């Protein structure tokens, strides 16, 4: 029996990169998966069609801007309506704006914190209305939550560090309900936004204990483990999956 059979998951920012890999993996493990996208409806619908043709769990794409709380709340409710409940929330949506600190604007602060922090809070707040014992809240952060790897990262690093406090506190709040809360902190991962064949990738490899650029499947596999029965005792903590970049 597939490890996530009869489960329902919502993945925010699930139409590309790490998010799409998580959607595919959770569905392959038997879960029905709803995922959000902000742009490119064609790409999102193609992913849903791919998953549905693969014969695992079903998938649906939901248009939602993670910077808008009303959209996140709507995505949770649509997932519950479509699939009859919610077992797993994966907060994956995130943005990066890198520049010298003095060049940042307050508007950029609002933008990054709205997507990287507020959306996580809002999604969890709505999800806990539906999660039952055995439920999971899994957030995708960054190894930069522990280690600012260089300049021009202050705003992003701050947003990802905030997720650590969120994870610890929420695990205490939801532990009595039997719900586990975890944080996955990827390092350099080969996506269209962070390809493995650039000068930055070469720099990143020079900082890693294992000089292997991560793949989206690496992250998806860890998420699937945490979402399964095998991950039931892991809560209030984070797993850094960065090839030893932070070692």
Residues labelled catalytic: 156
List the structure tokens of 180: 């586990």
Element (H, E) at 36: strand 32-37
Element (H, E) at 111: helix 106-113
CA angle 159, 125, 141 (to 5 degrees): 30
Specify whether the backbone of 89 is left (phi greater than 0), alpha (psi in -120 to 50) or beta: beta
Contacts of 42 (CB under 8 A, 6+ apart): none
Distance CA 139, CA 11 (A): 10
């Amino acid at each position: 029996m597939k490890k996530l059979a009869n489960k329902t998951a919502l993945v925010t920012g699930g139409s590309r990169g790490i998010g799409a890999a998580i959607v595919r993996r959770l569905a392959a493990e038997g879960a029905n998966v709803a995922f959000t996208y902000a742009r490119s409806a064609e790409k999102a619908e193609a992913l849903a069609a791919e998953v549905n043709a693969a014969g695992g769990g079903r998938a649906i794409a939901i248009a939602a801007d993670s910077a808008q709380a009303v959209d996140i709340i709507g995505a949770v409710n649509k997932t519950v309506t479509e699939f009859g409940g919610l077992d797993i929330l994966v907060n994956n949506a995130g943005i990066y704006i890198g520049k010298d600190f003095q060049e940042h604007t307050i508007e950029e602060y609002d933008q990054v914190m709205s997507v990287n922090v507020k959306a996580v809070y809002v999604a969890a707040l709505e999800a806990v209305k539906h999660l039952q014992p055995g439920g999971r809240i899994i957030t995708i952060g960054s190894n930069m939550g522990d280690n600012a790897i260089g300049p021009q990262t202050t705003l992003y690093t701050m947003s990802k560090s905030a997720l650590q406090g969120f994870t610890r506190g929420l695990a205490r709040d939801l532990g009595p309900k039997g719900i586990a809360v975890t944080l996955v902190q990827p390092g350099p991962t080969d996506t269209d936004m962070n390809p493995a064949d650039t000068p930055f990738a070469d720099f990143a490899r020079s900082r890693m204990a294992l000089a292997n650029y991560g793949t989206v499947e690496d992250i998806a596999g860890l998420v699937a483990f945490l979402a399964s029965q095998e991950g039931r005792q892991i809560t209030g903590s984070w797993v850094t999956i960065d090839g030893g970049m932070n070692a």
